[in-house]
Amino acid sequence: MKTAIVGAGKGCRSLLEFILEGGLSELRLDVALVCDREERAPGLVFARERGIPTCSELSEVMDLPGLEMVVELTGNERVAEDIYHRVPPGVRVMDHVMARLFWDLLHAERQLRREREQVQEILDSMPDIVFVLDREMRIQAVNAEFVRMSGLSREEALGLRCHDALCGTEESLEQAGITCPLNEVLRTGKRMSLVQVTRGRDGEEEHYEVTISPLRNDGGEIDRLVESRHPVNERVRLKREVEESNWRFRRLIDSARDFISMKDREGRYLVMNAATAELFDMWAYECVGKTVHELYPPEIAELISKHDREAMEQKRHITYEETLVLKGREYHLKTERFPLLDYKGDVVGVCTISRDVTEEKRLQQELIQADKLAAVGKLAAGVAHEINNPLTGILAYAEDLLEDVEEDDPRSEDYRVIVRETLRCREIVRNLLDFARQTTPRKQTVDLNEVAESVLALVSKLALFKDIRIRRELSGDLPHVSGDPQQLQQVVLNLMVNAAEMMRGEGEIRIGTRFDPEDRTCRLSVADTGPGVPEEARGRLFEPFFSTKATHGLGLAVSWGIVERHGGRIEVENPAEGGARFQVVLPAMEVDG
């Protein structure tokens, strides 16, 4: 529409700028002339710079060929009336009042357009995929990331249904029998977030955190949906790596036979491996959150807490040797403790790694005992030979003197004491020689039940066992062992005599056998109802010449040496029901299959 503008003030310049920028898309104005009597009017200056013709007389405006509209921007009523009177027929007039209203509308449209552009710029700057849908699930707006992800241009995407653009299918999720989250938001009116897994154009798995938000119109009804998709591939990858790391850590500590645990500063378990949980007949997850006082007896819990505090307070690695008694079993532990630190270096807990060295302790004691027996054996052999000859002479002279005196002679009783004590010394010497020899066993297949029966037949004739009840608890399916039956009988006899002496000839002795499939050993036990073995005596019980019964103390030492040469051991305990129990533990023979 060919247009002339009368009045070239600031409003004229702004209108020209707006028109030249394409702001009037609905009303296309072709400004052919700008008129104002002020030569330096802003509108005239701007028009000349843009090559638009200018004039100073209204008559030139009216004579403009093909004129279709006159826009009056002077703000002067007289000028407006003059234009109305002089304008050629068919030419439209927009006076300054109408122009002001029109300009306000144009300004509002311009502002709205600018805001839309800013919103689009904001959407395009977002790294997430964002798009807007109407109630029919047709795309109304998209951002640059949507264009990049989908491979569609903005113009191609607008108007498409979401499943056509994003799912690559001709049917919606609802048609495929799957609950569509978009429809769910329409139904509930509530915002929804979920994680969605898709395949990218390269076929790789992609993970998105999807958020769907409803938009409502002035009536409060949902008329659009905004969906944003935030890529979380890196988060999923890190989560999987953490889970994999946790799984490897769990497998590592659970495969260890050491007792491994982590606790916080208050002593609550954060981590515990399977070996530690087995001590309490629990699963590891059941122990997490519990304290040592909830799992251990009070005295043990206090000891563990004390050591934990030391490691945390001193902020260093500390090694402890600990002895714990759990479920009637004594554990000797070598424990390493060190503090757990956070990223700032502050102590947040303590880690404990304990190794069960009970068997090592036992083997160490056996080695010490074997060394003692070897040393004492050498000494005993030399001493026995040196003493034996003088004893023989003393005995011979004492017997001769006894034969030379009458029965009623006062000296005869003194001679008898000499003979009796000399014979007692010779018995001790003979035991020393037996101990020193440590004869190598002549091994053969041995049934421990038969060994026990032969010893029982022997002791039944001894006066020491006259008032003692003997109870047999012999296993019927006991494997054989490899050993010297005579030497093993001597061991069992020594244990039976030791038990009878401890009970002072009154009480009950239980002799039993059993097979332990866990370590494939045969066990022969001798238990009594006596006072038991004093705690302070256990460490020295098998030492030569050590006795709690005022005897020479060689019986148990000899027994230890015999069993040790058979590849076995002797275990001692005081059962809860009272008395003492000695167990001879020997390896069972393998059965050819």
* Under 8 Å between Cβ of 356 and 332: yes
Cα angle 160, 164, 167; round to 5: 140
Distances (CA, A) of 379 to 304, 327, 372, 437: 45, 43, 11, 11
Cα–Cα dist 239/575, whole Å:
54
DSSP 73-108: -S--HHHHHHHHHHSPTT-EEE-HHHHHHHHHHHHH
Assign 475 to helix, strand or coil: coil
What is the CB neighbour count within 10 angstroms for residue 186?
Answer: 16
Task: Please report the pLDDT score of residue 431 as a whole number.
Answer: 59
Distances (CA, A) of 573 to 114, 180, 541, 570: 94, 72, 12, 10
Q: How far is CA 221 from the centre of its chain?
A: 50
* Under 8 Å between Cβ of 284 and 273: yes
Q: What share of the chain is helix, strand, coil (3-state, %, to 5)?
A: 45, 25, 30
What pTM did the predictor assign? 0.41
Task: Please report the pLDDT score of residue 27 as a whole number.
Answer: 66
146: tokens are 């949507």
Amino acid at 495: L
Domains of the chain: 2-112 (3.40.50.720), 127-231 (3.30.450.20), 252-356 (3.30.450.20), 361-437 (1.10.287.130), 444-587 (3.30.565.10)
Q: Which helix (H) or strand (E) holds 208?
A: strand 205-216
> 112-130 burial string, b = 16+ CB within 10 Å, else e?
eeeeeeeeeeebeeeebbb
Start-to-end C-alpha separation, the chain: 113
Q: Following CA atoms 109, 110, 115, 119 in sequence, which dihedral angle do they give, to the nearest 10 degrees?
A: 100
Cα–Cα dist 293/304, whole Å:
9
Assign 219 to helix, strand or coil: coil
Give per-10-residue mean pLDDT for the chain (593 aa).
91 84 70 92 93 92 92 89 90 85 74 83 88 91 88 89 69 56 90 82 78 91 91 83 84 86 92 88 89 89 92 92 79 90 91 85 65 59 67 82 83 84 74 58 90 88 86 92 89 89 89 92 94 74 57 67 88 88 92 54
Task: Please report the pLDDT score of residue 565 as a whole number.
Answer: 87
Among left, alpha and beta (phi > 0; psi -120 to 50; other), residue 90 is: left
Task: Please report the pLDDT score of residue 521 as a whole number.
Answer: 94
Continuous H helices in 126-273: 144-150, 154-157, 162, 181-188, 233-255
Position of tokens 């005596």? 537
340: tokens are 């757990």
